[in-house]
Structure 1
Amino acid sequence: MAQQLSLDLPVRTALGRDDYFVSDANAMAVALVEDWTHWTNGKLIVTGPEGSGKTHLVHVWANLSGAKIIEARELSLDGIPALAQSPVAVENVHRIAENAAQDALFHLHNLILAEGHSLLLTGVGEPKHWGLTLPDLASRMQGTMTAILSDPDDMLLSVVLAKLFNDRQLVPTPDTIPYLVKHMDRSYAAARDLVEQLDRASLAEKKPITRSFASRILRGDATDY
């Protein structure tokens, strides 16, 4: 029997403060973001694995501070003066590569602090491993206070899975998430990929997401959706 083709349905990601669960893995970062008016030199870096909630924290901070949000690779020198007139969050600095974008970030860093505003930056891994080729920028990043989002503990992983299912308007049976937490790879990226696979498999097979269904997907006993 031919299987029904799955469709990419819109995912409504919840990014409010009430949607951000705090555990030992992220408590320090959350506390620092919420205490943003006391950042050393007015700036903070938040680092963590892909899917660990950096963007969510950025939006929490933007709601608190009125900050603008921009991707590091989208920075340009001509846009810096206007951008520096309010707090700014620069996401994914570890992906910045072009010298022009690095120059822009260096000037944004200096100007926004001179204007008395705050700067939040995010990335994966330590700033010294971001591959920055502009020495002055690299030294400023490495000298910035850093909050680290750690790998999830059981409680946080359960909440992350629940949120990912909710973002996709999926309702697994109550015993599904505890089973997944016990048997899946323990990372944010694994949680994101697994929920996406379960979504596609459930749609293709027209079956609810149950413990047994999730077990079969984890074992790989299903078509690659």
Structure 2
Amino acid sequence: MIQGLLNLENEQKFSIEDFILSCANLEAYNSILHWEKWPNKKLLIIGPHKSGKTLLTTIWRKNTDAVVIKNVEDFKDAEKVIVDNIEELSEINLVNIINFTNERGLPLLLTANQYPSFNLKDLNSRIKSIYKVIIKEPDEELLKLILAKSFKQLQIKISDEIISLIFRSIERNYESAYEVVKFIDKLSKITKRSVTLPFVREMLIKYYQTDDL
């Protein structure tokens, strides 16, 4: 039921200004700003789904004119390279990209949802040598900020009480925060009800099996 409602519209698009800094992602953000200091001109950002990795690559791409690629044929005249979600590439393809950037001394930014492990020993060795920063799961402050800002982007006025209610009801991760906001917005439109405290409480009890509200 929840997934069906979430599929009614395309996912919300976020801009650079939407990146929320916290202790969980500060090292990754600073690494993007000071990319000239990357050891061997390479950085791998590891973080959970929806933690802002792609947004960080967007910041770096816009600041440096880097190019997002999926295979060696995409290089063309690229001087700085991004490979987002390295888990989605074939191992041979990823090895070729890393080798290509090594041969030409090109800065390379990689992202992954978790610490990668591959079948190819050669690839594991190359990944092991790359400098890594980890985006942690959000703490209470960051999760509440994500909820508040996501509602604001949808032009939904929300109270601190509703934010606290949602925080107590969802899993403490990035994906759950973005999902519940989209779900509340879509359910509000379907039922033609305003996003009030009683509405949110009712929704959480019905769809999130929360009974201590």
The Cα offsets for residues 36-88 of structure 1, whole Å up to 9 and x where unpaired, read as 11100000111111111111111111112211123xxxx344x05526x3211
- Deviation for aligned residue 1:217: 1.6
Q: What residue is the counterpart of 1:120 in the other structure?
A: 109
The answer to whether the aligner puts 1:145 opposite 2:131 as a matched pair is yes
Q: How does 1:127-206 map to 2 (within 5 A)?
A: 127-128=116-117, 132-167=118-153, 169-175=154-160, 176-206=162-192
Q: Aligned AA for 1:90?
A: V
Q: Aligned AA for 1:111?
A: F
Q: How does 1:38-49 map to 2 (within 5 A)?
A: 38-49=37-48
SS in structure 2 at match of 1:147:
strand
In 2, are the aligned partners of 1:164 and 1:195 still within 8 Å (CA)?
Answer: yes
Q: What residue is the counterpart of 2:61 in the other structure?
A: 62
Classify 1:24/1:189 alpha carbon distance in 2 versus 1 (closer, same or farther; 3 Å): same
Classify 1:10/1:166 alpha carbon distance in 2 versus 1 (closer, same or farther; 3 Å): farther
Question: Where do 5+ consecutive residues of structure 2 fail to align?
Answer: 209-213
Identity within the alignment, %: 29
What is the total number of aligned residue pairs between the two structures?
A: 203
1:109 to 98, 105, 130: 98
- Deviation for aligned residue 1:181: 2.1
The Cα offsets for residues 92-135 of structure 1, whole Å up to 9 and x where unpaired, read as 11233xxxx3222212212223323211111111123xxx2222
Q: What residue is the counterpart of 2:82 in the other structure?
A: 89
1:214 to 188, 200, 213: 200
Q: What residue is the counterpart of 1:50 in the other structure?
A: 49
- Cα separation, 2, equivalents of 1:163 and 1:95: 30
SS in structure 2 at match of 1:127:
coil
SS in structure 1 at match of 2:68:
strand
The Cα offsets for residues 10-41 of structure 1, whole Å up to 9 and x where unpaired, read as 5542221x321111111111111111111000
SS in structure 2 at match of 1:22:
coil
Question: Where do 5+ consecutive residues of structure 1 fail to align?
Answer: none
The Cα offsets for residues 153-187 of structure 1, whole Å up to 9 and x where unpaired, read as 122112222333344x2414223223222332211
- Cα separation, 2, equivalents of 1:31 and 1:150: 15
Q: What residue is the counterpart of 2:211 in the other structure?
A: none
In 2, are the aligned partners of 1:6 and 1:203 still within 8 Å (CA)?
Answer: no
Superposed CA RMSD: 2.3
In 1, are the aligned partners of 2:41 and 2:106 still within 8 Å (CA)?
Answer: yes
